[in-house]
Amino acid sequence: MEIEAFEKKIWLSSPTMHGDERKWVDDAILTNWVSTVGANINEVERMTAEKIGRKYAVALSSGTAALHLAIKLCGEKLYGQPKVGHGCLEGHKVFCSDMTFDATVNPVAYEGGEAVFIDTERDTWNMDPVALEKAFEIYPEVRLVVLVHLYGTPAKIDEIRAICDKYNALIVEDAAESFGASYKGVQTGCLGDVSIISYNGNKIITGSSGGMLLTDSEEWAHKARKWSTQSREDAAWYQHEELGYNYRMSNIIAGVVRGQLPYLEEHIAQKKAIYERYKDGLKDLPVTMNPFDPVVCEPNYWLSCLLIDESAMCRQVRGEKEALYSHESGKSCPTEILELLARYNAEGRPIWKPMHMQPIYRMNPFITTNGNGRAKSNAYIKESGFVDVGADIFERGLCLPSDNKMTMEQVDRIVAIIHECFA
């Protein structure tokens, strides 16, 4: 069967405008509220808090800014306010999800802390509670955990919360990718001591950029808002007692978010249909989709991903910046599939390369279920019995085009392209 290339590029995940965004942006311009103050910001904070079921939402310039302030709130609560020029996490380790976008963990470094990466489990591709428990046995003094819900699938929060309670640790929840997903009926964004979501351009709801810090503490919401607007004290002039940041969301961006928010459920339904169509179309191939337990959670299906069976991997070698593979009949690899998708004008992406494999974090500890250290390759993992789930999912997995505007015919064409890889 001849597969036709896509005339218009199929994106991994692109913004979807509905019309109301323009109305609220125009409104801001017409009323001259072109600033980091205005009705759109207030409304977006109210709507986000209400949707997630959290008392307070603080509108910020990005999810990364929200993570920075969330981590700082916890760090100062645990260790006190640092001297100017120092981070609040200096001399302290923080347990972090390992297989994630680096924005999850970089704020730990902004505050001078040392990220300790916790390996991934296979059931949800999130932080492994068994490895986390192991990490607390090795470093019982740790009091902070940064947890992500990858690709819109909630982590095993009950197990993780129980371990954190045992060791008296706080959780910063990175729900940047999982807005609208729920765990046992509770929305992600409610599951951390402080939580964040992102309104970046490729997320399920977007303002082009932007993020929210979520908390049930009025004091923390107030503090985050103050820090985000240069930590101005209530005085007649610019009076400063604390370090400040320019992290507030603009009222123009908030206008875009305000127009988008009513469409969260629609976007989730579209993403879910795409995920299910892939799952059905790929069922005769030696691959599985990114997994979740439907009894405990409902993902938002932000990205559809697949994992190639070990026995169906062709040879693939990845260096620091390039990859090579050799095609074998009946087998394939992420590099081959991504290359073919690109040739047909569709955008896929490798799985987030685990943080413990990143040159920038090569000196940071990495804790797995059966040891403390780093694997070099899948071959090494097999020979040594060393478990490094993140490295394995990175090697065998990839993100499929998951744009919510894709038609089922387009999903079918992607499925056909993947079949061609295994031919």
Q: Is residue 228 involved in binding ligand PLP (CB under 6 A)? A: no
Identity of the amino acid at 316: Q
Q: Residue 198 forms beta bridges with which residues? A: 211
Stretch that binds ligand PLP, among 98-106, 263-271, 282-290, 402-410 (CB under 6 A): 98-106
Per rule CB under 6 A, is residue 36 in the interface with ligand PLP?
no
Closest residue to ligand PLP in the complex (CB): 63
264, 249 in Cβ contact below 8 A?
Answer: no
Tell me the β-bridge partners of 307.
288, 397
Site string for ligand PLP, 197-226 (x = CB under 6 A): -x-x----------x---------------
- The answer to whether residue 194 forms part of the interface with ligand PLP (CB under 6 A) is no
**Binding test (CB under 6 A) with ligand PLP, winner from 103, 249, 254, 375:** 103
Minimal distance, residue 65 CB to ligand PLP, in Å: 7
Give the DSSP H/E element, type plus range, for residue 56: strand 56-60
Write the DSSP assignment of 222-236 as a string of letters. HHHHHHHBTTB-SSS
DSSP, collapsed to helix, strand or coil, labels residue 213 as strand
Regarding 148 and contact with ligand PLP (CB under 6 A), the answer is yes
Element (H, E) at 171: strand 170-174
> Using CA atoms, how far apart are residues 188 and 74, in angstroms rounded to an integer?
19
Nearer Cβ to ligand PLP, position 33 or 101? 101
Judged by CB under 6 A, the stretch of 22-30, 154-162, 169-177, 266-274 that binds ligand PLP is 169-177
Closer residue to ligand PLP (CB): 178 or 215 = 178
Q: Which is nearer to ligand PLP, 136 or 151 (CB)?
A: 151
Distance of closest approach, residue 100 Cβ to ligand PLP, in angstroms: 5
Q: Does 401 bind ligand PLP (CB under 6 A)?
A: no
Structure tokens at 60: 């910020």
Is residue 127 involved in binding ligand PLP (CB under 6 A)?
Answer: no
Among 73, 176, 305, 411, contact with ligand PLP (rule: CB under 6 A): 176
What does R_g of the chain's alpha carbons equal in angstroms? 22
| Residue 57 in the binding site for ligand PLP (CB under 6 A) | no
Contact window for ligand PLP (CB under 6 A) among 100-108, 212-220, 376-384, 397-405: 100-108
- Contact between residue 303 and residue 151 where contact means Cβ atoms under 8 Å apart: yes
DSSP secondary structure letters along 338-406: HHHHHHTTB--EEPPPPGGGSGGGTTS-EEETTEES----HHHHHHH----HHHHHHHHEEEPP--TT-
Among 98, 111, 173, 177, binds ligand PLP (CB under 6 A): 177
Out of 15, 38, 63, 259, point to the residue binding ligand PLP (CB under 6 A).
63
Q: What is the rounded CA–CA span in Å between residue 236 and residue 234?
A: 7
Stretch that binds ligand PLP, among 171-179, 233-241, 257-265, 271-279 (CB under 6 A): 171-179
Residue for token pair 């940041």: 245
Give exposure, 305-321, as e/b (b: 16+ Cβ within 10 Å): bbbbeeebbbebebeee
Strands 170-174 and 144-148: parallel
Residues in 283-342 that interact with ligand PLP by CB under 6 A:
none
Considering the complex, what minimum distance in angstroms separates the CB of residue 104 from ligand PLP? 5
Give least dist CB 177 to ligand PLP, A.
Answer: 4
Residues of the shown chain interacting with ligand PLP in the complex, contacts defined by CB under 6 A: 62-64, 100-101, 103-104, 148, 174, 176-177, 198, 200, 211
